[in-house]
Amino acid sequence: MSDLLKIVDNAPGSCGPCQSASCGTCASPPVKRETPALLSRRELGRTVLGASAVALIAGCSQPKPAEQAVAPPPAAPALSPDLEVVKESKGPIMTTLEEFYKIGPGPSSSHTMGPMRITYDFFQRISKLPEDQLKRATALQVHLFGSLSATGKGHGTDRASLAGLLGKAPATCPPEFLDGLAANPDETHKVTLGPTTLDLTLKDVIFDATKGNFPHPNTMTPKLLAGSETLYELEYYSVGGGFIEWKGYKPPDKGQPKYAFQQARDLQKYLVDDKIPLPQLLLENEMAISGKSEKEIWEFLDQVAEVMVRGVDTGLNADSILPGPIKLHSKAAAMQRSLKTSAKGEAARAVTRVASYGFAMGEENARGHIIVTAPTAGSAGIIPAVVKSLRDLNTPQQKVRDGFLAAAAIGYLCKHNATLSGAEGGCQAEVGVGSSMGAAMIAQAMGAPPKVVSNAAESALEHHLGMTCDPVAGYVQIPCIERCAYGAVKAWTGYCIASAEVPDERRVDLDTTIAAMALTAKEMNSKYKETSEGGLAVSVVLC
């Protein structure tokens, strides 16, 4: 991304893509990149009044101190060349579907999904140990370190870790099981390893040292014990986005893509030159890189679709206060009920239905139930809402699979040329990309030509540019859940616009908008990058 940002950085002083030098677009002075000055009195007054109004609305007598609102914001840090998103921006896109659509428990891909994938991996490893070793086993434990230990309780790291140790696969673990672990923390559970059955409780997940010289802030070590002797242990790292590594980890060997691409325009060239449909190109690349058969790829995408639709259905039938200090009441069920009872008119009914699906999966994520990263846990409600609404239209299964491929291609492009992380790029990188993927998915599933697929994705992404990440109290609830609903509705809007306009008349292309997102991410103040130091996170007063 750094090369791309250099190109974009130079843009203000040069003529734009129209090259007319007289359109006026490029004549404006370059944007000054200075730390903003202290707020003017009028701005200060507005800020204080705003904070007071929020406090009044919330029924609280202690508004946020004004000084907190007027402190000059820190400059956004430059992206480190050590970041994977920077390193991976070299060469062709090599991401695979299984790396991208990761299945596991919410609400955090690094603090819940990663740990459950880790302990399930450990369970599978120790299940294969020789019988004489397993016969001696007396206990199974996992030690959490660093950030996992410091913030794991709030994220449900302990129950996710225990579920994996008990042999529950992240993709298929029923939500009731995870709820049961949280509701009955003292309950004893049995796990069978060959000839041995062990008792486990949440106490076997040990919140260990929070500070230390760990290889990664999210380090954890599961152990199989025989009394005080360690029979088998392995140090793992939850490296973000649900990805896991372990001591001595070597990334899996990958094949070379048949159609190497880095940008949307590369894809477009293949589609024209080779006269190959977009889903076919993406399928052939996936087979070449992952080594999987076509059948295996469809089976995986079908499983992803089932997890998503099951999550939406579960969320639509759940009516509860979501976990955490916000005490946020879920809305999906109420929105569904409103469809039955009120005369909303065609437009309101359509929007309510799609939005309720987005709420349903976003709320499931907040409950710590099983979700699919698409592209992240916080934005996990958007693609399920699209899939569910495509099913409402009786869209054939193969069309939905093709839609998943197109959506993944958009996600890959954004990951490769910008970022998918709220901590790096704000919410435009999560919900914005999710909405863009959704628009591409709908267009592809509807059989639209590739240019329309690309335009739909561009349209949806364009109208999320600059969206900040400011989760209230650090919980993936406000604004995240409602944003998933908006993201799904905007995905449909992007498709509706792109399928109605003349495709070649669209003035902004997808690569340009992804570049704009990368630039916006770079210049965004760090307060708005998942730090809970700005925006809603400091404006909403919790009593």
> Does 432 interact with ligand SF4 (rule: CB under 6 A)?
no
Q: Copy the structure tokens of residue 395.
A: 């869209």
Name which of 108 and 119 has its Cβ closer to ligand SF4: 108
Minimum distance, C-beta of residue 530 to ligand SF4, in the bound complex (Å): 5
Minimum distance, C-beta of residue 422 to ligand SF4, in the bound complex (Å): 3
Minimum distance, C-beta of residue 432 to ligand SF4, in the bound complex (Å): 9
- The region, left, alpha or beta by phi > 0 then psi within -120 to 50, assigned to residue 91 is left
Minimum distance, C-beta of residue 244 to ligand SF4, in the bound complex (Å): 20
Q: Which of 431, 457, 497, 516 forms a contact with ligand SF4 (CB under 6 A)?
A: 431
Binding mask 481-500 for ligand SF4 (x = CB under 6 A): --x-----------------
Name which of 286 and 470 has its Cβ closer to ligand SF4: 470
Subset of residues 395 to 424 that bind ligand SF4, contact rule: CB under 6 A? 422
Q: Which of 181, 271, 361, 427 forms a contact with ligand SF4 (CB under 6 A)?
A: 427
The neighbouring-strand residues paired with 103 are 372
Asked whether the beta carbons of 389 and 436 are under 8 A apart, the reply is: no
Quickly count: other Cβ atoms within 10 Å of residue 436's Cβ. Answer: 35
Name which of 336 and 379 has its Cβ closer to ligand SF4: 379
In one letter, which amino acid is 474? G
- The region, left, alpha or beta by phi > 0 then psi within -120 to 50, assigned to residue 255 is beta
Minimum distance, C-beta of residue 531 to ligand SF4, in the bound complex (Å): 10
Q: Which of 158, 204, 402, 430 forms a contact with ligand SF4 (CB under 6 A)?
A: 430
Subset of residues 367 to 386 that bind ligand SF4, contact rule: CB under 6 A? 378-379
Collapsed DSSP state (helix, strand, coil) of residue 373: coil
Minimum distance, C-beta of residue 154 to ligand SF4, in the bound complex (Å): 14
Name which of 163 and 431 has its Cβ closer to ligand SF4: 431
**Measured between alpha carbons, how far is 183 from 301 in angstroms, rounded to an integer?**
32
- Total residues interacting with ligand SF4, rule: CB under 6 A: 13
Collapsed DSSP state (helix, strand, coil) of residue 198: strand
Find, among 380, 398, 410, 406, the residue nearest to 481 by Cα.
380
What are the φ and ψ backbone dihedral angles of 388, each rounded to 5 degrees? Answer: -65, -40
Subset of residues 440 to 479 that bind ligand SF4, contact rule: CB under 6 A? 469, 471, 476, 479
- What is the three-state SS of 83-103? CHHHHCCCCCCCCCHHHHCCE
Name which of 379 and 520 has its Cβ closer to ligand SF4: 379
Name which of 164 and 479 has its Cβ closer to ligand SF4: 479
Q: Which helix (H) or strand (E) element contains residue 48?
A: helix 41-58
Q: What is the DSSP letter of 443?
A: H
- Give strand ranges (E) for 21-150: 103-105, 139-144
Q: What is the DSSP letter of 65?
A: P
Minimum distance, C-beta of residue 107 to ligand SF4, in the bound complex (Å): 9
Q: Which of 205, 437, 480, 540 forms a contact with ligand SF4 (CB under 6 A)?
A: 480
- Give strand ranges (E) for 45-164: 103-105, 139-144
Query: In sequence order, which residues have a C-beta less than 8 Å from that of residue 311 and are 6 or more positions away?
Result: 360, 361, 364, 369, 370, 371, 372, 384
Name which of 257 and 535 has its Cβ closer to ligand SF4: 535
| Positions that interact with ligand SF4 (CB under 6 A) | 378-379, 422, 427, 430-431, 469, 471, 476, 479-480, 483, 530
